């Protein structure tokens, strides 16, 4: 399965979908902007589980995700 990647323009929310037109993504987070494609068999970014993403797409039509905020390293002595 080819995975289509999208980013919500109103939030730092991202999604994987099974279709290029984002027809099944939740409208409450719209508008959605295309953000890339993961070819069939290629690993998704950020070491995400392709198996879990594909199962979520089969069940819901999409998989939402967001990155945790980066925490600056503590530089105090």
- Tell me the average pLDDT across 52-64: 97
Residue 74 has pLDDT above 80, yes or no: no
Percent of the chain topping pLDDT 70: 96
pLDDT at 10: 84
The overall average pLDDT reported for the chain is 92
C-alpha distances (whole Å) from 13 to each of 1, 28, 44 are 22, 11, 16
Short-list 66, 4, 64, 74, CA closest to 36: 4
d(CA 32, CA 10): 8
2-35 pLDDT per residue, tens:
999 999 998 889 999 999 999 999 999 999 999 9
Can you give the pTM of this predicted structure?
Answer: 0.85
Which are the contacts of 61, defined by CB distance < 8 A and separation ≥ 6?
17, 18, 23, 24, 25
């Amino acid at each position: 399965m080819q995975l289509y990647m999208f980013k919500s323009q109103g939030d730092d929310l991202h999604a994987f979908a099974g279709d290029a037109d984002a027809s099944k993504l939740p409208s409450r987070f719209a508008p959605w902007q295309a953000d890339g494609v993961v070819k069939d068999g290629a690993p998704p970014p950020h070491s995400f589980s392709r198996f879990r993403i594909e199962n979520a797409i089969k069940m819901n039509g999409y998989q939402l995700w967001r990155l945790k905020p980066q925490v600056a390293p503590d530089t105090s002595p």
